[in-house]
Structure 1
Amino acid sequence: MSNVKSALGKPLAGWRTQLYAIIFEADTRAGRRFDQALIAIILSSVTVVMLDSVRDINVRYHQGLILAEWLFTFLFTVEYLARLLCVRYPFRYAVSFYGVIDLLALLPTYLALLVPEVGVLIDVRILRLLRVFRVFKLTAYVSEYQALGLALRASVRKIMVLLAAVLMIVLVMGTLMYVVEGPENGFTSIPTAVYWAITTMTTVGFGDITAKTDLGRLIASVMMLLGWGTLAVPTGIVTAEMSYARHAPATTRTCQECLAEGHMPDAHFCRHCGACLPDYAHERPQV
């Protein structure tokens, strides 16, 4: 068992280090070209899935679409195996978010060979819908997605506090509307009134239930105004985090232990797990 663990946790060296820098980082010419090629393949694959759902196109170009699908599946399989080969802990990557997305991009085509098209069973074509998961892989290769993800992650606690405050407001207001309007005006229960408060606060509108009394209309007006202010708060929080992130040099430097990204160029240790970072593989911008 110890031999297996040591093999899975084998330090990167030689070709594995070079392959790791190309696949997981994009601060070198080879890394950027790899990401650009992968984005093109993902978009082409999703396009094939969309075209395959059009009846006329499917009937006319069915064989070509199947061939293209197997070509994309082969390329994604090679990429997935390459990722497992060049990381220190393959299982840790396999169960990560992007590792699961990579696997979901492969499974449908292979499962289609194993699941027969029998009327009692689910149509194999339903499995093809899972291929759309490939589009989520784009977030790993576009720096703007990464910046947005970091900003959202840094704002989670503040947004959770805001949501807790909103929950208390809609609970109180919904209960108040239930008392003021009553079942005769459509507010048959407190949960129904709370649902009305949520939809009113988000400016969606309930539709079949509206305030009939003057006091009820006043409460509804307050809820609508609160909705405008509440929706503006998360936007400000995330914008502030993104503005703060712009002052730090953006890199795709990745920890080989936990696969966390976005480390500073002069960092020596991972800001998530504390592991020692490898040398920063990058190219100086051309003047």
Structure 2
Amino acid sequence: MHNKLTYIIYQVIIAILAIISIVMLLAYYAKEIDIDAYPYNLIDNGIWLVFVVDYFTSLVLADDKKAFFKHHIFDLLSIIPANSLFFFFRIAQIGETFRMLKLFRLLRLIGFTGRLASFFKRNELVYYLYISIAVIMVTAAMFCISEKVSYQTALWWAITTATTIAYGDVIPKTEIGRGAAIILMLLGIGFIGMLTGTITEFFAKKDEAAMSKQLDRLEAENHQLHADLDEIKQLLVAHTKQDNRDNDK
């Protein structure tokens, strides 16, 4: 149980880091941030290091390394060292350096997105729940600090925004607060939508399983009924034959 909980927490952390990377790369392409400047470069390099360790540790522990490499292409794309390659190309005076850097970062964006999609494809309801809570709490903290309101108020704002209710009684006025709102709208609402969809699917499958079980039981009873009728028929035939023999005597 402890190992399973540790694994869940680890997977959720990896997913959150992937989400942060996706948001940063999208902001970079939108020219909202300079990912090579402080503090974004530290965040980007830190996340990159985590994914590098994760990838190569999993590769070393894999029984079939060829199959691991084949089925984890997105993981490999997510660890492309864009900053290091950019430095190498610049030192080597290779033309189109900045365009190549954007290409490498685009590949990383594809890698993170694919890895995140794979994560949700192979995991269950609990991950949607944990990440939804994490996104709400993180954006609430950002809102709390930037807007100088209590965390309770910020949490109220985050929950109402994520659930698309948005009463409008609390609104962001600072750039960071608006950034938190954008993250919450893009990620939080999506995850909560997936969460509710997964819950609906769970109960639908549960009802389907219950109905299937009931049909199997009815089918078994039907077979048993046919068997009993055949047995009764055989007994009647045998009894009739016996009566006929007795009458002949």
Same fold per TM (> 0.5)?
A: no
Structure scoring higher RCO (CA < 8 A, sep ≥ 6) equals 1
Larger radius of gyration: 2
TM-score range, shorter chain: 0.3 to 0.5
TM-score, reference length from structure 2 = 0.42
